[in-house]
Structure 1
Amino acid sequence: MAAKKMQLKLSRVVQGNFRLGVLRGVGSTTGQYSLDTPGCLLYTHLGTVPHLTQDTLHTLKHLPCVSQVTLSAIAEHQEVLDDFKDGFRDFAGLRDTLLYCSLHDPAATCPSGYTTNKTVSVWGSGGRIELTVTKFMALLKTVQPDWYQSMADGETWQSSTSRKRVRKSVDRTLTHLDECLLAHQTSPELEGMEIFGVVEGGDILEERVRSAKETAKRPVTGFCLDGLQTGSMDQVLRTELITAVNRELPEDKPRLLQGVGRPDEVLACVEAGVDLFEGFFPFQVTERGCALCFNYNICPDPEHTVLEQDEVKKQVVEMQPNADVNPEDQTQMTAFEINLKEKRFQDDFGPLVEGCGCYCCKNHQRAYIHHLLVTNELLAGVLLMIHNTVHYQGFFSALRDALANDKLHVLKRLILGERGAQSVTKE
């Protein structure tokens, strides 16, 4: 296998686990890109950020240089891509971005019960597609990503999964990784691409540690931490498992956590040593007709900071749903967003977030977005996705600034509100 170019250069480690750094040498051809960590990838569906054209997307600043594409969406189009021959990036007309290829879409539900010792299944619009290692690697030759995750058995995130099934998941995933590495080493078409090993283990500490130790022995560039997604387990247990896993992983290789995007959970997982996240959360918020509306502005002026915290309390009150909200939205909404479909916004002529510099907040009001939503206008999704993407990327930038400038305690107070630092370890 060709020598790895990608390497994580840490500039600071805070409180033993928070890792501030830069992922350098990213890119299968020139290695010219770099990605600041902690950070997140750009979520796409078939290479396109939902609701946004490429021209609209590129009006946004400070986007991550890596876009995530999923085999679950691409696999059913393999024949077309094979005929095209020049890879998915050129096929989708992407520019100024690198590609990370994962198995599953983090914003979609993946049915369980279809993994075997020889295959994994992905789900596209046409239904289930079963992948052997041979088919999996053939797909990667067609897609030509800059890096990709290995095949894995990730069907053990439910708390009811037996220890025997979790052990089998770890064994299968390691076997898949060995087979993928062998195919990678013998395929000139994959030269220059990077492979991430997948750490499984459900909610069983011993299996998590075993999976991490064994995966770290393989010649992988980084690690995907799977089966820890939102809703799978309590945050305290997730933090414990991630911390234990990361003790077994090399410091100079990135750790990508799958399926976690909520800001408070991101903070806790970064504290446990995670470097990268999938960027699907803004899309989920947009699909709910909601706008991200949490405060992450770190200010050195203590009086100004108090005023900002008062604004957070006000927003928390605003976020309480009323009787007009669809019950499904109530179960899905988080404390970091406001539902613009609520009637109270029909006469609210303020921006989505005061002081936000995105196109939506500079040019439109909450009342207009409410109107677009209740009349089912497609422009609602466009404007919300612009704001939510900018706001979410701003959060990660603030997180890196907080780590660099000893302001982490301030950011925790802003993100967690009156809960202080209860969801993450106190300083």
Structure 2
Amino acid sequence: MEVSAEHQEVLEEFKEGIRKFAGLHDTVLFCSLHDSANTSPAGHVTNKTVSVWGSGGRIELTVARFMAIQAAIQPDCYQSMADGETWQANTSRKRVRKAVDRTLAHLDECLVLHQKTQELKQAEIFGVLEGGDIMEERLRSARETAKRPVGGFVLDGFHSAAMDQDVRAQLIKATSAELPEEKPRLLLGVGRPDEVISCVEAGVDLFESFFPFQVTERGCALSFNYTIDPDPETAVLELNGETPDVRKPNSNGDENMTPFEMNLKDKRYQDDFRPLVEGCGCYCCKKHMRAYVHHLLVTNELLGGVLLMLHNMAHYLGFFKALREAIAGDRLLDFKNRVLYCREGD
């Protein structure tokens, strides 16, 4: 939303939406209020406005401007304007209640304009569920939002850094029970594979794709195994404890690095002539070696980030494809065990 707000006039003059503008012809476009890959400053929400941050600083949005931006973007679906500043720990019950009330009021205003806007006739508006870590407010937000004519629901305030996994799962499960099963639930701010699986078990249908970007920014490559039934050769290697070396202890001091990635800036990869992940079919793994990507990263070449992003997106999308297949085949537990097992491989 931040980028679109900065370029609203350009998109309005173009008139055909951001999909055609950016050449994203086969992509489902969802527009969120904030970028989950970055933390937005708090304290800038009022009863009439919310704020987003672009390269030029803070941009204050009324419902009218927010909806005008959506009309210029022409997404497939988008979240309504919301007060999402209650995900921080120790937020008071009074503040959480106010956030729920504001979010419902914003939704009602957005719905009125949504129905009047020709450019959004084919788009779905998703109602946003707030409530912090207070079960009572979460349930109230879910029940009231479900009464509105929305196309789906956005579960906000469950960011990875903000909430314990078990608490998150309990709140999501209880909230999901209040929502109609035929409408999708999209979760903001959660991208780690183990957390994704936990949230799927709790009732989430859709996730953002910011996690591969964060991994790329760290100079890392996603490298976890999500194949339930490995090929015979890999199965024998695993049986003999000879699985490929894909993860080692964090050596760059980045506390945000997860067990699902390998740090390609590490010196151990300067003479490693294997692909990033054995068997990966992405362009980077088919054409380049770990040593080359390591060289690009330590010399600050832009191509390093490009190649990493190609791999990380391909790996992440492969994970979700396998996750969907596991759910369809009633093998989610096998899939979960596979992903979690591979976290402990080194």
- 2:272 paired residue number: 348
1:395-415, CA deviations, whole angstroms, 9 ceiling, x for partnerless residues? 111111222223323222221
Change (3 A) 1:411 1:94: closer
Q: Residues 370, 117 of structure 1: CA spacing in aligned structure 2 closer, same or farther, 3 A cutoff?
A: same
Contact in 1 for aligned 2:176/2:203 (Cα 8 Å): yes
RMSD after superposition: 2.0
Q: Distance in 2 between matches of 1:99 and 1:174?
A: 23
SS in 2 for 1:415: helix
Q: Does 1:382 align with 2:306?
A: yes
SS at match of 1:128: strand
What residue in structure 1 maps to residue 7 of structure 2?
77
Q: Which runs of 5+ in 2 are unaligned?
A: none
Partner of 2:263: 339
The partner residue of 2:191 within 261, 277, 297 is 261
Give the C-alpha shift of residue 418 in structure 1: 7.5
Structure-1 separation of matches of 2:28 and 2:236: 41
Q: How does 1:115-154 map to 2 (within 5 A)?
A: 115-154=45-84
Aligned-residue offset at 1:340: 0.4
Deviations 1:114-151 (A, max 9, x none): 00011110111111111111111111122222211100
From 5, 26, 44, the equivalent of 1:96 is 26
Task: Output the CA distance in 1 between the equivalents of 2:262 and 2:90.
Answer: 34
Match of 1:252 among 166, 179, 182: 182
For the residue of structure 2 that corresponds to 1:348, the secondary structure is coil
Structure 2 Cα separation of the partners of residues 135 and 289 of structure 1: 37
Asked if structure 2 preserves the Cα contact closer than 8 Å seen for 1:295 and 1:312, the reply is no
CA contact (8 A) 1:239 1:272 kept: yes
Q: Distance in 1 between matches of 2:287 and 2:231?
A: 29
Query: Is the aligned partner of 1:370 residue 2:300?
Result: no
Is 1:291 equivalent to 2:221 in the alignment?
Answer: yes
8 Å CA contact retained: 1:295, 1:308 = no
* TM-score, scaled to structure 1: 0.77
Among 241, 244, 248, the alignment partner of 1:319 is: 248
1:206 paired to 2:136: yes
Q: 1:308 to 1:214 in 2, by over 3 A?
A: farther
Deviations 1:17-41 (A, max 9, x none): xxxxxxxxxxxxxxxxxxxxxxxxx
Deviation at 1:84, TM superposition (A): 2.3
Q: If each structure's helix is expressed as a fraction of its own residues, which one has the higher value? A: 2
Cα pair distance change 1:267/1:176, threshold 3 Å: same
Q: Which structure 1 segments of 5+ residues have no match? A: 1-70, 421-427
Residue pair 1:312, 1:417 contacting (<8 A) in 2 also:
no
Amino acid at match of 1:267: I
Would you say the 8 A contact 2:234–2:243 is kept in 1? no
Which of 134, 148, 161 lines up with 1:231 in the alignment? 161
Whether the 8 Å contact between 2:31 and 2:77 is mirrored in structure 1 is yes
- Judge conservation of contact 1:298–1:305 (CA < 8 Å) in 2: no
TM-score after normalising by structure 2? 0.94
| Aligned counterpart in structure 2 of residue 170 of structure 1, from 72, 94, 100 | 100
Q: Would the aligned equivalents of 1:313 and 1:417 in 2 still touch at CA under 8 Å?
A: no
CA apart distance, 1:296: 0.6
Provide the rounded CA distance (Å) in 2 between the counterparts of 1:136 and 1:352: 42
Greater RCO between the two (CA within 8 Å, min separation 6)?
1
Cα deviations by residue, 1:221-251 (Å, 9 ceiling, x for unpaired): 0000000011111000000000000000000
Question: Number of paired residues?
Answer: 343
Asked if the contact 1:159–1:232 (Cα under 8 Å) also holds between the matched residues in 2, the reply is yes
Matched to 1:112, the amino acid is A
Structure having the higher strand fraction is: 1
The letter for the 2-side match of 1:383 is L
**Does structure 2 conserve the Cα–Cα contact (< 8 Å) formed by 1:294 and 1:312?**
no
Deviation at 1:192, TM superposition (A): 2.2
- Structure 1 residue 399 corresponds to structure 2 residue 329: no
Does the CA-based 8 Å contact 1:158-1:232 persist in structure 2?
yes
